[in-house]
Amino acid sequence: MAKNAAQQIVADDELDELIDGLKQTEKMISPKYFYDERGSQLFEEITRLPEYYPTETELGIMRDNIDEIAALAGKQASLIEYGSGSSLKTRVLLQHLDELAAYVPVDISEDHLLESARSVREEFPDIDVLPVVADFTQPFQLPSPKVMPVRNIVYFPGSTIGNFTNEAAQELLQVMYHEAGADGALLIGVDLQKDPAIIERAYNDSAGVTAEFNRNMLRHLNREFGADFDLDAFTHSAEYNEEEGRIEIRLVSEQDQEFNLGHASFSIGKDEAILTEYSHKYTLDGFAAMAETAGFSVERVWMDAERLFSVQYLVRD
């Protein structure tokens, strides 16, 4: 299907962004390009892996504290989820939030978004489900629910905030501050600093699913942007940078090679890498300070017994 004018502008902007990233001293591709339909499916598979502690830990925190979470959200809220999930965490909220005005999943991957929204509608026919296709790192227009919400609760699970540099994370929190609106709040999953061995295992699973998820980004660019990456010529790498407090994920070239993207051509040497993702792990004080710069204050923090992960409720100052 041919793109309309607006879609073409977005595609051209994304191509420029990709080319600019690959021209950097360390080549990089934004992690948002993980999430085509296949990438979204692979990530759902990652969340069920035994090595990947964040999902089950966060789900346990949600289940253990859902009554308090629901009480803080109050009646007739609109739940705005950044990155549409078909996860159990979202369903825990949908089951317990009192007289929910609307559920608004927001995602750049349209196919996955609409499939997730359809699934939620089937399971929760009384909830007004209003999906929005958008890059949630930029301000977007919220839909109008049938029932006027008392407040907006922005929901950002999975510690996806950690995928952004500290500067970009602050900018995203500012977008969330705007979308939350007056009397709004942010419910967010925040991964915590811990033994690096636990972290590295989570991103180097024995089944190789994370490696396939990483390489699928190149498959996505080949299909959608006419690139010609050789997927078999790149290997997955995930190492913890203790000084920066983050896991760093890369695709490492196994040989000297060339590739094309749009109107640009690139060379990459053997053992040279393309950075595809950071995943920052935070201290409680460090995250609170970052959120404060965006206008939020931390009202409540819930953690598991081992303090691997946290779920936090932030309100606008």
Instruction: Give the integer Cα–Cα distance in Å for 89 and 217.
Output: 25
Protein fold of 53-194+283-316: Rossmann fold (3.40.50)
pLDDT, tens digit (0-9, with 9 covering 90-100), for 169-209: 999 999 999 999 999 999 999 999 999 999 999 999 999 99
> Rounded mean pLDDT of 205-222?
98
pLDDT of 5 over the 60 cut: no
> To the nearest whole number, what is the mean pLDDT of the chain?
93
Q: pTM here?
A: 0.88
Q: What is the mean pLDDT of residues 233-253?
A: 97
Q: What is the DSSP string of 29-97?
A: --GGGG-SHHHHHHHHHHTTSTT-HHHHHHHHHHHHHHHHHHHHH-TTEEEEEES---SHHHHHHHHHS
Distance in angstroms (rounded) separating the CA atoms of residues 312 and 301: 5
pLDDT at 86: 61
SS3 content of the chain, % helix, strand, coil (to 5): 40, 25, 30
Q: In terms of DSSP H, where are the helices of the chain?
A: 5-22, 37-46, 53-73, 88-96, 110-123, 166-180, 196-203, 209-225, 284-293
pLDDT band, very low/low/confident/very high, at 1 (cuts 50, 70, 90): very low
Q: Give the pLDDT band (50/70/90) at residue 40.
A: confident
Q: Over the stretch 126-168, which tens digit does the pLDDT of each residue have?
A: 999 999 999 898 899 999 999 999 999 999 999 999 988 899 9
Average pLDDT rounded to a whole number, residues 290-297: 96
In this model, does residue 2 exceed pLDDT 80? no
Please check the confidence at residue 228 and state whether its pLDDT lies above 90. Answer: yes
What's the rounded mean pLDDT across residues 68-84? Answer: 94
**What is the structure's pLDDT at 8?**
62
Nearest to 155 by CA among 84, 72, 53, 61: 84
Please tell me what DSSP assigns to residue 308.
-
Q: What is the mean pLDDT of residues 96-125?
A: 91
Please give the pLDDT value at position 284: 98
Q: What is the pLDDT of residue 10?
A: 58
Is residue 9 scored above 70 in pLDDT? no
Whether the predicted pLDDT of 109 surpasses 80: no
Which among 47, 44, 52, 90 has a CA at the least distance from the CA of 69? 90
Question: What residues contact residue 246 under an 8 Å CB cut-off, 6+ apart?
Answer: 162, 240, 278, 279, 280, 281
SS3 call for 179 = helix
pLDDT at 47 over 80: yes
Per-domain boundaries in the chain: 23-50+197-280, 53-194+283-316
What is the predicted pLDDT for the residue at 7?
57
For the chain, give the percent of residues with pLDDT over 70.
96
What is the pLDDT, as a whole number, of residue 85? 63
Q: How far apart are CA 93 and CA 103, in angstroms?
A: 10
Q: Taking residues 299-303, what's their average pLDDT?
A: 98
